[in-house]
Amino acid sequence: MMSQPEPFLPPPTTSRSPPLRFGLLCHLAQLPGSLTQDELPCTPGSLSGSLLRPQGLTEDEDVQAMLRGSRLCKIRSRTWQKERLYRLQEDGLSVWFQRKIPRALSQHIFFVQHIEAVREGHQSEGLRRFGGAFAPARCLTIAFKGRRKNLDLVAPTAEEAQQWVRGLAKLRTRLDAMSQRERLDHWIHCYLHRADSNQDSKMSFKEIKSLLRMVNVDMNDMYAYRLFKECDHSNNERLEGTEIEEFLRRLLKRPELEEIFHRYSGEDRVLSAPELLEFLEDQGEDGATLARAQQLIQNYELNETAKQHELMTLDGFMMYLLSPDGAALDPAHTCVFQDMDQPLAHYFISSSHNTYLTDSQIGGPSSTEAYVRAFAQGCRCVELDCWEGPGGEPVIYHGHTLTSKILFRDVIQAVRDHAFTLSPYPVILSLENHCGLEQQAAMAHHLRTILGDMLVTQALDSPNPEELPSPERLKGRVLVKGKKLPAARSEDGRILSDREEEEEEEEEEGAEAAEQRRRAKQISPELSALVVYCCATRLRTLRPVPVPPQPCQVSSLSERKAKKFIREAGNSFIRHNAHQLTRVYPLGLRMTSANYSPQEMWNSGCQLVALNFQTPGYEMDLNAGRFLINGQCGYVLKPACLRQPDTHFDPECPGPPKTTLTIQVLTAQQLPKLNAEKPNSIVDPLVRVEIHGVPADCARKETNYVLNNGFNPRWGQTLQFQLRAPELVLVRFVVEDYDTTSPNDFVGQFTLPLNSLKQGYRHIHLLSKDGASLSPATLFVHIRIQSS
């Protein structure tokens, strides 16, 4: 159903809060070290909002050099090395680059907020392979979030390379420090600057209409012109100076926030600390005290006079609700807050399948950069498919396919250099070993010499040898998962594979390939010695009667075999996973590297639920949501019902509903345009809330769609869910562009555990398919969680 859009620009209202100034005016003037109001950007006569000016970055020599631009050589291969002009845009948020064939503007820029890291020297696979002719001091690599390939560059001089390295670091630091409100103001002024077609710092009605289309709203011409004339106090059919500020102030009004604010502030239109405390208590905030309310006023109020009198204005209230303290994700859960001293088997562990691939498993390229990206996403278990290589050097690739090959030793070097950049907790190397004895010995040599003391080569002293060590005890260490002598021998004396379903794969292969597998099922003593806590074993059946725990044994199951255990063994599988690690991987038939839903495996306590990290989709959204908490360290403590050795929990029979989740979807703000090259393309957004948990809890409900308004659509619809196992639930908020004739288009999403979802009025900060921020795009919702 379509929701009829309401007029989204209300008439002016009187308020005791100070007038809102834009282009970073309203808040930067109050920040320590900021410029005075007269020096701030976007005053009358300037429409361009810039990240640079408020912090004095326009005077910075490195940033000035970037604004002038540099001719940098882009390296793709030994033969593809092209010189291109790269120049920082005036907004300070994007870099324009030259192309041989001109394309749409969006194909000529990249954004600072999408940069994952900037590396100096030959610190990428591309520059190590193809940049040998250039001095390391002249080289840099820009690594991006998501699937975008690295940008390997060579500057004319070492100093020019350093200017870009230092300049990008300063811009990223400044961007990270910006509040959501600052990002919103900057965002609107960037569009304002683009809409000012003749750059005269004045806005005609035609330019105003262009601005509205750019920010994703289609407004009735009569209504838009009425608003335009109400702001045109000079009556000259142009808005300038304070008239533009008034227009923007009204454009960005949040009537729903004003209504909430006035409900608590009363007639004086300011919140005292006790009134703010009342709001916090109604929100269900943990630790809501008068001191906490006073602290929030000091943190978020923009008006110094109000702050001195412990009062919060509407602007301060909006700053608070747009901050991490006002977000749906509990800020206390963004750092490591769980007990990290329990055995490894008590944690969900972020795990990757075919980690070396950057695309499909049939003909896609293999790359050490895929490991770097996985670690940057918090992954703690990576896979290495090891095969015989030339010159006695084992290689990694997807065997018997057209995927490219990379050296085993290069991957181990990437592990050494990048495994602990984001998380200090242990990394597991899951070896899929197809090498003969000689190259297995070479693998063991590389593991020992490259990783050194990082590598666990013998069991730690433990008061309880029947339990795996904890993530805390294994901080900074690397574990090898693989085959072990002599315990892994079968009755006929051969070494068992570390994959349960390998015989199924053999049936799909030719005789020669199957024979190569059989030859490789020997194991060298050197490699066996490095398998300490993760001995690969085959899990054929699950016994209902408890057997002596064997914590160091790890089973690898295909998704099909894992689902069979879940369906037929239920509680026995959960008890097995309470003391032993289980790794689940996608079926080999998923040729495009598609993923399965990890939730079903988590419901049964499987720790190492391996996904194709290179393939975006709802499955990876769930994985990112599961590991969003606990400092994104890659380890999340399983619920108690999945850790107890004598648990009776069965995800197929979770019992009666225990929790009611009620979500009122109120509004959205500044949703991205899906087709920036088509000015008249406006989204028709709807919101879907998905529950992922035990089968009885899984559900999805959605709002109506709002026609032609991606700027500030309003729904006011309530969605309710009954939950039987809330401790396992992930909540996924999805925004889509409704289409009557084809599947809806994805706009943005955010996923988090129910136990980390805060109650009350909350903003949800949306992410792209690749997990990048879509700031300033948000959903505004009210959340209520009731336990029965």
Q: In the predicted model, is pLDDT for residue 506 greater than 70?
A: no
The CA distance from 219 to 709, in Å, is 8
The CA distance from 94 to 116, in Å, is 14
224-242 burial: b if 16+ Cβ within 10 Å, else e: beebbeebbeeeeebbbeb
Please list the active-site residues: 353, 398
Residue 160 gets the label, from left (phi > 0), alpha (psi -120 to 50) or beta, of alpha
Cα dist from 678 to 405, 504, 617, 674, whole Å: 41, 50, 26, 9
Report DSSP letters for 269-309, one per residue: -SEEHHHHHHHHHHHT-TT--HHHHHHHHHHH---HHHHHT
From 387-396, 451-460, 515-524, the region with the lowest mean pLDDT = 515-524
Q: Which residues pair with 109 in a beta bridge?
A: 96
Q: In the predicted model, is pLDDT for residue 326 greater than 80?
A: yes
Of 55-64, 178-187, 766-775, highest mean pLDDT:
766-775
The CA distance from 125 to 109, in Å, is 23
What pLDDT was estimated at residue 52?
Answer: 61
Confidence of residue 513 (pLDDT cuts 50, 70, 90): low
What pLDDT was estimated at residue 271?
Answer: 96
What pLDDT was estimated at residue 294?
Answer: 97
Mean pLDDT on 628-653: 95
3-class secondary structure per residue, 597-658: CCHHHHHCCCCEEEECCCCCCHHHHHHHHHCCCHHHCCEEECCHHHCCCCCCCCCCCCCCCC
User: Which is higher by pLDDT, 385 or 195?
Assistant: 385
Count CB-CB contacts under 10 A for residue 104: 8
Q: Which candidate, 641, 639, 666, 728, places its Cα nearest to that of 691?
A: 728
Query: What single DSSP character describes residue 33?
Result: T
The CA distance from 240 to 198, in Å, is 14
Q: What percent of the chain has pLDDT over 90?
A: 66
Q: How far is CA 127 from the centre of its chain?
A: 27
Confidence of residue 547 (pLDDT cuts 50, 70, 90): low
Q: In the predicted model, is pLDDT for residue 510 greater than 50?
A: yes
The CA distance from 86 to 88, in Å, is 7
The CA distance from 192 to 315, in Å, is 22
Confidence of residue 490 (pLDDT cuts 50, 70, 90): very low
* Structure confidence by residue, pLDDT tens digits, 75-103: 999 999 999 999 998 888 889 998 877 77
* Structure confidence by residue, pLDDT tens digits, 122-167: 999 999 999 999 999 999 999 998 778 899 999 999 999 999 999 9
What pLDDT was estimated at residue 286?
Answer: 87
The CA distance from 478 to 107, in Å, is 40
Confidence of residue 515 (pLDDT cuts 50, 70, 90): low
Q: Residue 400: what residue type?
A: H
Mean pLDDT on 602-620: 95
Cα dist from 571 to 342, 557, 727, 759, whole Å: 21, 17, 17, 33
Pairing of strands 699-702, 705-706: unpaired
Q: What percent of the chain has pLDDT over 70?
A: 86
Cα dist from 744 to 294, 709, 737, whole Å: 45, 15, 5
* Structure confidence by residue, pLDDT tens digits, 260-286: 999 999 888 999 999 999 999 999 998
The CA distance from 109 to 113, in Å, is 12
Report DSSP letters for 138-159, one per residue: GEEEEEESTTPPPEEEE-SSHH
Q: Of all residues in the chain, what percent are helix, strand and coil, respectively (each to 5)?
A: 35, 25, 45
Q: Which candidate, 515, 446, 532, 519, places its Cα nearest to that of 481?
A: 532
Q: In the predicted model, is pLDDT for residue 27 greater than 60?
A: no
Mean pLDDT on 235-245: 90
Confidence of residue 26 (pLDDT cuts 50, 70, 90): very low
Of 90-94, 576-580, 686-690, highest mean pLDDT:
686-690
Confidence of residue 662 (pLDDT cuts 50, 70, 90): very high
Report DSSP letters for 721-765, one per residue: EEES-GGG-EEEEEEEE--SSSPPEEEEEEEEEGGGBPPEEEEEE
The CA distance from 563 to 48, in Å, is 56
With a CB cutoff of 8 Å and minimum separation 6, the contacts of 110 are: 94, 95, 97, 142, 144, 148, 151
- What is the overall mean pLDDT for the chain? 86
